[in-house]
Amino acid sequence: MNGSAPDQLPLVPEATLRKHGAFVGYDTRFRACARLLQSLHREALGLPMGGFIDGAGKRRRYGHLVGQADAAAGANFLNEDILRFTAKTLAYREPGALIEDRRVYGNLLASMPLAFNLFGALKLDDDLADRWVREIYPAFEGKVSHIQFEHSPGRGESRFTDDGTAFDVFVSLRLDDGRKAFLAIEVKYSEGMAEAEPRMRPRYDELSVQSGLYFNADDPALRRNPVQQLWRQHMLAQAMVMSGLYDTGAFLIIGPERNGEVQRASHRYAAMLKGADGAVPFEVITLETAIAAVALAGNTAHAAALTHRYTDFGPVHALI
């Protein structure tokens, strides 16, 4: 290694994880390291562990959680501006938006606060947002008009997916040629693409065919983990164009390069797409690339803060 960081993340000994309140037996290799990294971040801030009362009435404490007072003070956010912006966004969230305040404020490992930390900076700086889009998706030359969180164009509407499917981040643009465009974005951090599968609806089957996105629209694998969430979100993105709400768009997933579950599922899903004319494209973007785009767009300090918080596993390697 000659002093450089290893090419892969370690299998952290259980004793080390327990010492920092970061042991969860079912964690993937990446999730264990990410949980430990966030616990070390909390310790570096000098904050005590947070916790919760489980279903059996027992108090559980974990290193990736902060206490209620520290959460309210903004321990999960990179700066005061993002804290204030997040508080306002949560106050005016869309009806039906599934955002759990406790996780946003107090769970250092959760992906939604990552979304606020990354995209909040873009929301607060229009020029930075425009430059970031040009770096991350150069096919869209234009101006960002709006950035929304946990957005759906119409929860429960039959012309879309007839359910509550939404995007973590939704960037609306007006392209230089006058077209209305969007970037619909799913943000992952430590998740393993194994969230609870929804009840299948007739609209899913209809839209899977009507969308023209898939080699085999009836493939049962589309309806199961690890790709069913991407299937629903991509169909929603396509329905937005089909309904005339937007002229064009793209569906992106952003996740850490070393989160193998996210990367494998994303590329497996991409292989199911036939890339037909008029289809909303699907792109897999690493979190590292998304952060680098913030630096290239002009805010190197914020990119460095994001890297330190989420993708620099140096503190974990130092324990091994």
Q: What is the pLDDT of residue 52?
A: 81
Per-residue pLDDT tens over the stretch 27-82: 999 999 999 999 999 999 999 999 887 777 778 899 999 999 999 999 999 999 99
Q: What is the pLDDT of residue 1?
A: 46
198 secondary structure, DSSP code: P
The answer on pLDDT for 308 being more than 80 is yes
Q: How far apart are CA 224 and CA 88, in angstroms?
A: 35
Burial of 210 (0-12, 13-18, 19+ CB in 10 A): middle
- The DSSP code sequence of 209-229 is HHT--BS-TT-GGGGSTTTHH
What average pLDDT does the chain have?
95
Could you check whether the bond before residue 220 is cis, i.e. omega within 30 degrees of 0? no
% of the chain exceeding 70 in pLDDT: 98
Q: How far apart are CA 39 and CA 45, in angstroms?
A: 10
Q: How far apart are CA 69 and CA 33, in angstroms?
A: 26
At residue 269's C-alpha, the angle toward residues 266 and 274, to 5°, is 135
Per-residue pLDDT tens over the stretch 181-197: 999 999 999 998 988 88
Cβ atoms of 142 and 181 within 8 Å: the answer is yes
The count of other CB atoms within 10 Å of the CB of residue 52 is 13
Flag whether the pTM goes above 0.75: yes
Q: What is the pLDDT of residue 33?
A: 98
Per-residue pLDDT tens over the stretch 250-263: 999 999 999 999 99
> Tokens 């979100």, residue?
233
Residue 75, sorted as left (phi over 0), alpha (psi -120 to 50) or beta, turns out to be: alpha
Pairing of strands 180-187, 167-175: antiparallel
Residue 262, sorted as left (phi over 0), alpha (psi -120 to 50) or beta, turns out to be: alpha
- Contact residues for 192 (Cβ-Cβ < 8 A; gap 6+): 28, 31, 226, 259, 261, 262
% of the chain exceeding 90 in pLDDT: 88
Confidence of residue 3 (pLDDT cuts 50, 70, 90): low
The count of other CB atoms within 10 Å of the CB of residue 185 is 26
The answer on pLDDT for 103 being more than 50 is yes
The answer on pLDDT for 244 being more than 80 is yes
Q: How far apart are CA 217 and CA 202, in angstroms?
A: 13
Per-residue pLDDT tens over the stretch 161-183: 999 999 999 999 999 999 999 99
